[in-house]
Structure 1
């Protein structure tokens, strides 16, 4: 079995993930509010109400600045106001207003923290993308043959497109310009130029 090649010139992705949510309003006035998941609350840290979080953003200092207010999923657990954020080893820990002991922190476990998508800063580079912009795109080879659809983005060991192939199998494709030469958001597709053996992995 061939190993996945290592290629220089990586493209860039940002880990904020998009979700669509409906704002609470009467049916006749229903609007769609696009939000992004920036973290998932994990286990409590200590006995003073702090919580650990699983990051889904590349900008934790900005997202969790003191005084930031985040909406939640499920919505009844929020909104939550951040009192402080700090790194603890490789993890991030939040202090949240009104959460002052471990039992209270435990009630927030697995809560998703959300911000409005239009609050995201513009990306600096032409070939830089947010994860949610890539998820769901059709995947074609350079001859126009459809290979599948981008299911998610993995950031373990580098940026990888996780593609659900038409036969149901998953394919991991390094998100580098040598292998993914084209991303056409308007056309809803990415073009893959796979090196020998990649499609057989």
Structure 2
């Protein structure tokens, strides 16, 4: 539904980045949100209840129950808000899923698991799947050419990434296209 970006003021208000196109229906007093935060956060496994949503300079700002001051609000920065949804609920669109349906799915490349989806990033151009791998995190553009199959029932996402997305490139490949152009014309003898 949204992301808590940063504290606003001294009374526990938090600026929001909304992922819904209908905030008037979703962000009403009494709405309860499940938090997606790191397991080390004191908010892990907890829910937030919205007291009020205000708009300041065209930016949504939320006031939540049990968030009385700025210090508490700062501990919620970057938390993602979800609504409880039936896991079997259909998004209403083909090839569309709710974030909670994708988080935790195994990422498969050439029949082998390369990681699991830890979260999604919603950007203007496209969404990104953030895949936790044994060596760190990889941002995978969530487009059909790279993610041709999602099977929520099987718990898998199949990826066909370009070379270098999941592995280190050899030095000659990292040099870029100019490395394969050929000799520098300045290094050749002029023709008389």
Distance 1:62 1:177, change over 3 A: same
Does 2:133 match 1:165?
Answer: yes
Please provide the CA RMSD for this pair: 3.7
1:44 matched residue in structure 2: 8
Residues 70-109 of structure 1 aligned to structure 2 (within 5 Å): 70=32, 80=49, 82-86=51-55, 88-89=57-58, 91-94=59-62, 104-106=68-70, 109=73
Residue 3 of structure 1 corresponds to: none
Between the two structures, name the one with larger relative contact order (CA 8 Å, sep ≥ 6): 1
Change (3 A) 1:187 1:44: same
Alignment of 1:61-76 (within 5 A): 61-65=24-28, 67-70=29-32
Note the C-alpha offset of 1:114: 6.2
Contact kept? 1:86, 1:92, Cα under 8 Å? yes
Cα 1:87–1:170 shift into 2, 3 Å: same
Q: 1:63 to 1:41 in 2, by over 3 A?
A: farther
5+ unaligned residues in a row in structure 2: which ranges? Answer: 36-42, 169-192
SS at the partner of 2:153? coil
User: 1:148-191 deviations in whole A, cap 9, x for unaligned?
Assistant: 1112212246311111223x232221000111000001110000
Change in 2 beyond 3 A, CA 1:170/1:40:
closer
Preserved CA contact (<8 Å) 2:16 2:61? no
CA–CA distance in 2 between the matches of 1:198 and 1:170?
11
Decide which structure has the larger Cα Rg and report it.
2
For the 8 Å contact 1:44–1:52, the answer to whether it is kept is yes
C-alpha separation in 2, matches of 1:155 and 1:71: 18
Instruction: Tell me what 1:124 maps to.
Output: 92
Q: Which runs of 5+ in 1 are unaligned?
A: 1-15, 17-37
Q: Would the aligned equivalents of 1:152 and 1:161 in 2 still touch at CA under 8 Å? A: yes
1:179 and 2:146 are equivalent in the alignment: yes
